[in-house]
A and B are shown apart, each in its own frame.
Chain A
Amino acid sequence: MTHLPLLSLAIWTPVLFGVLVLAVGRDNRPALTRWLSLLGSLAGLAVALPLIARFDRLAHGMQFVEQFDWIERFNVAYALGIDGISLWLVVLTALITVIAIIAGWENVERRVAQYMGAFLILSGLMIGVFCATDGLLFYLFFEATLIPMFLIIGVWGGENRIYAAFKFFLYTFFGSLLMLVAVIWLYFQTDSFDIAVWHALPLPLSAQILLFLAFLLAFAVKVPMWPVHTWLPDAHVEAPTGGSVVLAAVMLKLGAYGFLRFSLPIAPDASRHLAWLMITLSLIAVIYVGLVALVQKDMKKLVAYSSIAHMGFVTLGFFLFDTLAVQGGIVQMVSHGFVSAAMFLCIGVLYDRMHTRQIADYGGVAHTMPRFAALFVLFSLANCGLPATSGFVGEFMVILASVKANFWIGLGAATALILGAAYSLWLVKRVVFGPVANDGVAALADAGKREFFLLGLLAVIVLAVGLYPAVLTDSMQTSVADLLQHVAKSKVE
């Protein structure tokens, strides 16, 4: 093992490249800006990939640990580390950044440098969230991600972008402020901001419940869970394609990851005590939001609602307290990262040509864009959980575990498969198949090299994870088992 600070590199490489792009890139030199950004995102991926190779899947606790004192007055440390839970999220973020950069290659013409710079900085900050093992550092990254995303939605978004950007910012800011109070409160109990110390802190049930609720608000808004999900469809519809991709693929995971890192281990008794609440909210997300997705007229909105439903699976899995379910939830997080990214890219491809996202404006795309249509169908099937795609693995694991826990929960979760199939396939039917709807569709050109490369890459990953999910599950086994063992023990004294 070398002593390269890989995690710091993974965080700061994209950030530094982002700053560089902002400094060097001018709007009259878009080509330079684009290539430099691509280089930055590839460099970010290059430093993230060795993490997989060097990760010890049997080791307990954090790996690649880095620790320096940072703010001595409050015992805050610059402390990084990853375990099997965060490993794949870090890699996912680095990969999605490359995709987002390429996705914005041609269709972003305004203020290219700021666009690319914002994405690179955002990427570094999100990796920071997944790596931080210090509570304040986590909060810092968690909050700081708001700034670039706010700008991305607001500057490059659609018509109603300003409303969406404000809604996005204020919703998430609201959630995280209470978390800040909780974090400071924990600091007073332990005189430390180290998350591991918080894990070990014994707490009475009442305190745990309050903490749990404070964290819940922050993470539930980010996931988003029903009923605080309403910012997401707005943000998605208005965000540029790259923004939607990053938002769905990575940003939503920040909240779900927070549950695993904070809520469950810090307040295990409250988690078990309030599991019914979390399961209910998750099932509502899965079923009700699934139904809402069914009636959407806007493709992006439909996928946005389906994202909420899929994230419902994730939270459902976490609160069943079962290895299979938690693993399923994490696999679902990663899988959803790829599938939703692909779905938004597909919609972006159509939007770039037709400048409409209304389902009614399409029909018979398969006739004019056969290559694209094939991939679009594949991703839609992955979205509804077809076996052999990554979408199936996570959902199946969660449903299996929920049937084991309680038949009715299992039934509720399984309905989601039907609903997922309904809205995904209906979308495909209306957009891709049927007769050519209008002259616009008739004039469509098939996916170009760049688009085909992106979608093809994602298709390979989706199928690979679907066929051989052990890549993911093996490396998270130890960490998930440790987590559940910790959660099973009461912290009430």
Chain B
Amino acid sequence: MNTMNLAPVYPEILLMVSALVILIADLFVKDTGDGRRNLTFGLSLLALAGCAVLSFLSLNSGATVYAMNNLFVSDSMSDLLKMCAYVAVALTLVYSRRHIGVRGMVGGHIGGEFYVLALLALLGHMVIISGTNFLIVYLGIELMSLPIYALVALRRDHAPATEAAMKYFILGALGSGFLLYGISMLYGATGSLDLLEVAKAAAFGEVNRKVLVFGVVFLVAGIAFKLGAAPFHMWVPDVYQGAPTPVALLIAGSTKLAAFAICMRLLVEGLLPLALSWQQMLTVVALLSMAIGNITALMQTNIKRMLAYSTIAQMGFILLGLLSGVTGGDTFDSAVNAYSSALFYVIAYVLTTLGSFGTILVLSRAGFEAENIEDFRGLAQKSPWIAFVMLMLMLSLAGLPPLVGFYAKLSVLQAVLAAGKVWLAIAAVMFSLIGAFYYLRIIKLMYFDAPVDDGKIAASGDARLVLSLNGIAVLALGIIPGPLMTLCATAILNTLSS
């Protein structure tokens, strides 16, 4: 096998170099006072575009290439997830630009570090997505988390943000601890950290099953921490609420792609022989997440907190897809079906979440965060178009046709039913019924109620444009979901068959 093949790692190298160049270049950007660091912003988007081109070429080739002594892989799934992550981060930057400028999160002694940290976090995503070794995935998680911890605390004078950063850091470290402990047990049982080696050892080797399963338990707990799934979800609402909205957007959006990759790499590729064990654990986690997420979201008055609980519930749905892979029958086809449905779900979720946090950012202005659900009151009269976009986003999260969220739910439900778990599917739809209520409440406030304040919407043109495109994408993918579904299916097929 190739030992030092660098071609698959080009996107990561490009991104790392760009991040460092931007860090330096930013020193020479003049502080204009309004926080518009055009150069930093432009270079960041340019770097993302460059990475996107590289990943797109690789996705097009459809090949699976290993690099760095089999520590790193570039396959269809990784390319697709990376493409989505670039889009997610790019949208985050566009939505955030004005918001962070007004709130002193750029400029002064902080400079343009927001952008650099976001790019470094993205680098962490990419390492996770492409890691083929337990330790590499772990390193990726840390590389992703550390910049985000810093980002959460970027508003140093803001008490809730500082509190959120502390909470996120401590609980994140705890989650990492779980994960490492699990990995160490797997290493002890199988003698390897390579995903495929572990899978082989678990399937055929003479291994201590007890240690192995124990390791899986810790691994699943660690993953649930990172996903923000119940019962390890406690940090999610506090961090979403406390963190500056742009950072909350980053956590709610692109990191979920990485979290999905963690599940795929560690559980599916590394521990497929133990699928029946971790599927059971995920069943509990998924049901709890949907129950706690949906029911608790009903009572929230802060929209970021509400979206946090909604995320917990949505993670439950993604886990439903992941736990339907191995059923006993023709495993390979059903696995491809289930994992690709989860992949489709996560992409649809990220797209919709970007839009909903984007709307909060577009509505916020100096001295007004648009964080409370009440702030959406009467939006349909103030700005019919933004209200309509938010309407589509909320209905997509609720899973109504003809929006992308419906197909996401549909494909996961069909995977669950294909696995013969009818009762799980029925539980899932009942929880989505509960969930529909709080999404409808936002619509109710926007459409049924009269506006309370007459503050103008101060968003910049580019953020509005991107929000419009985001909303239209949610609708367009709802009308023509076929290509993306096929793309997800081929990506998973290529990855699993290699």
Contacts and interface: CB of A to CB of B under 8 A. Distances in A.
Interface string B38-56: 0000000000000000000
Contacts of B400: 143-144, 146-147
A144 B401 contact: yes
A59 to B, nearest CB: 31
A180 B395 CA distance: 17
A74 to B, nearest CB: 7
A177 B417 contact: no
B433 A181 contact: no
A166 interface: yes
Contacts of A139: 401
Contact of B444 (A74, A140, A165, A180): A165
Contacts of B430: 177
Contact of A73 (B381, B406, B482): B482
Contacts of A180: 410, 413, 429
A162 interface: yes
Contact of B433 (A72, A111, A140, A173): A173
A155 interface: yes
Interface string A406-427: 0000000000000000000000
Interface of B is mostly: helix
B104 to A, nearest CB: 39
Contacts of A188: 414, 417-418
B444 A166 contact: yes
Nearest to B341: A73
Given A147-B400, A154-B448, A155-B448, A74 B414 contact: yes
B426 interface: yes
Interface of A is mostly: helix
Contact of B422 (A165, A174, A181): A181
Contacts of B426: 178, 181
A73 B485 contact: yes
B481 A177 contact: no
Interface in B393-422: 395, 400-402, 406-407, 410-411, 413-414, 417-418, 422
Given A151-B447, A184-B414, A170 B433 contact: yes
Contacts of B381: 111
Given A114-B380, A147-B395, A170-B437, A70 B429 contact: no
A187 interface: yes
B459 interface: no
Contacts of A173: 433, 436
Contact of A177 (B384, B433, B437, B447): B433
Contacts of A72: 482, 486
A185 B422 contact: yes
A34 to B, nearest CB: 18
Contacts of B432: 177
B440 A150 contact: yes
Give the interface size bracket for A toward B: 35 or more
Contacts of A471: none
A165 B448 contact: yes
Contacts of B485: 71, 73-74
B410 A169 contact: no
A151 to B, nearest CB: 6
Contacts of B489: 73
Residue of A74, A162, A180 with most partner-chain B CB within 10 A: A180
B384 A114 contact: yes
B429 A154 contact: no
A184 B444 contact: no
A184 B417 contact: yes
A74 B447 CA distance: 35
Interface string A132-160: 00001001100110110011001100000
Contact of A154 (B407, B417, B444): B444
Interface in B449-489: 480-482, 485-486, 489
Contacts of A154: 443-444, 447-448
Contacts, number: 88
A22 B387 CA distance: 13
A170 B436 contact: yes
A155 B433 contact: no
A155 B448 CA distance: 5
A161 interface: yes
Given A139-B401, A170-B437, A178-B429, A187 B444 contact: no
Given A174-B433, A177-B432, A184 B440 contact: no
A207 to B, nearest CB: 11
B139 interface: no
A305 B14 CA distance: 68
Nearest to A137: B401
B185 to A, nearest CB: 38
B480 to A, nearest CB: 8
Interface in A36-93: 70-74
Given A74-B414, A173-B433, A177-B433, A166 B440 contact: yes
B472 to A, nearest CB: 12
Contact of A169 (B413, B425, B440, B480): B440
A71 B481 contact: yes
Interface in A84-137: 111, 114, 136
Nearest to B490: A73
A187 B410 CA distance: 12
Interface string B353-373: 000000000000000000000
A91 B410 CA distance: 31
Nearest to B395: A147
B143 to A, nearest CB: 35
B461 to A, nearest CB: 19
Contacts of A22: 384
A178 B417 CA distance: 13
A184 B414 CA distance: 6
Contacts of A147: 395, 400
A162 B448 contact: yes
A173 B406 CA distance: 13
B402 A181 contact: no
Contacts of A143: 400-401, 406
A155 B429 contact: no
Given A71-B485, A143-B401, A144-B400, A155 B447 contact: yes
B376 to A, nearest CB: 14
A177 B430 CA distance: 8
A150 B429 CA distance: 20
Contacts of A74: 411, 414, 485
A181 B380 contact: no
Nearest to A156: B448
Contacts of A144: 400-402
A321 B421 CA distance: 35
Contacts of B418: 188
B258 to A, nearest CB: 25
A183 B329 CA distance: 22
Interface string B291-308: 000000000000000000
B401 A140 contact: yes
Contacts of A170: 433, 436-437, 440
A73 B485 CA distance: 7
Residue of A22, A72, A111, A181 with most partner-chain B CB within 10 A: A181
Given A72-B482, A73-B482, A181-B429, A187 B414 contact: yes
Contact of A181 (B384, B413, B436): B413
A73 B406 CA distance: 15
18 contacts: A70-B480, A71-B407, A71-B485, A140-B401, A150-B443, A151-B443, A154-B444, A155-B447, A161-B448, A162-B448, A166-B437, A166-B440, A170-B436, A173-B436, A177-B429, A177-B430, A178-B429, A181-B425
| Nearest 6 A/B pairs, CB to CB | A177-B429, A140-B401, A71-B482, A154-B448, A73-B485, A184-B414
Interface of A: 22, 70-74, 111, 114, 136, 139-140, 143-144, 146-147, 150-151, 154-155, 161-162, 165-166, 169-170, 173-174, 177-178, 180-181, 184-185, 187-188
Given A73-B482, A74-B485, A143-B406, 6 more contacts: A143-B400, A165-B444, A165-B448, A178-B429, A184-B414, A188-B417
